[in-house]
Amino acid sequence: MSLELVLEIIPGWQLHVFAAVFGALWGSFANVVIARWPKEMSVVRPASHCFACETPVRFYDNIPVVSYLLLRGRCRHCKARFSARYAVVELAMALLSVGVMRLVLASDPQTVLIAASMYFFWFGLVWALITAGLIDLDTFLLPDVITLPGIGLGLFFNIFVLRNDWMPPVIGAVGGYAVLSLLFVHGYKALFGHSGMGRGDPKLVAMIGACLGYKGAMFALFAGALQGLFAGALLVFQRRKSGTGPEPPELDYDREDGGDPQRDMRLRKARVPFGPFLALGAIEYLFFGDILLAGYLGLFERLLSAGM
């Protein structure tokens, strides 16, 4: 069936509403994974409960974004305050899901099956990026259970579903992983005695490369590094202004043990992990990559011709 035929039966606004609700529900699940994966808890059981009084959250109090607003971010029973991040993640996923739906409709896919697989695949990528990025922000760890299947699914989708050229995603995945782990993990360690990057970062770049091709991986790397440096500079500035505490210890990516909690606290306040910024760069590329790359190349050409 052609997409036009389906769009005659299902109006566009219904697809947008579906995308918003679907995105918010997966945002809610992302919150569960982000909270439980670092504690090695099941993401299915037990059902959601208040972190303070442990009363189970009833289904009508578990509606993404809406319940947070109705209950003003508090537990119905003990009034303990929940982090606003839960609602922000749900809202962001709802909006990004609508964005992915618009992206798919604008790309004029040939059949409904291709349109649907594009929507689920790109939204799955956004979900994986945000979930892995926020886990990295909280714990300085990137879960293999997200990045490794992401590499396989990305290659499969690009090569067998979209029937794109196999080179860009394969170069993105293999090249991204090889270059980063050689330079920043093993090479850096040989030179400076410790890794310059977490061991999960090359796998995240490989996932981005498998899904978005090597251009996407390169864009995420450069845009992510720029934005990460900017965030790091802001953090240092803020720390100077508030004039708090001693210099933070060096971040040791190779540490295997649980570590010293106080040292970890200081690290967390002073360092920014790379994963969230790689994820941000990849999402920017997914939505604006063509425009940004064209603008960047155009600027480069103008600079060249002005120099001639």
Q: Which residues bind Zn ion (CB under 5 A)?
A: 50, 52-53, 75, 77-78, 80
The two three-digit tokens of residue 66, written as one number: 């809406």
Please, what is the minimum distance in Å from the beta carbon of residue 53 to Zn ion? 3
Check if the beta carbon of residue 177 is closer than 8 Å to that of residue 210.
no
Q: How many CA atoms lie within 13 A of 67 on its CB side?
A: 17
Task: Give whichever of 80 and 182 is closer to Zn ion, judged by the CB atom.
Answer: 80
Task: Give whichever of 68 and 123 is closer to Zn ion, judged by the CB atom.
Answer: 68
* 3-state SS assignment for residue 81: strand
Task: Give whichever of 21 and 78 is closer to Zn ion, judged by the CB atom.
Answer: 78
Please, what is the minimum distance in Å from the beta carbon of residue 51 to Zn ion? 8
The candidate with the shortest Cα–Cα distance to 211, out of 291, 113, 285, 274, is 285
What is the spatial distance between Cα 264 and Cα 28, in angstroms, rounded to a whole number? 28
The two three-digit tokens of residue 307, written as one number: 């120099």
Task: Give whichever of 61 and 90 is closer to Zn ion, judged by the CB atom.
Answer: 61
> What interhelical angle do 275-307 and 112-139 show, nearest 10?
110
The two three-digit tokens of residue 133, written as one number: 């990025």
Please, what is the minimum distance in Å from the beta carbon of residue 114 to Zn ion? 46
Please, what is the minimum distance in Å from the beta carbon of residue 62 to Zn ion? 13
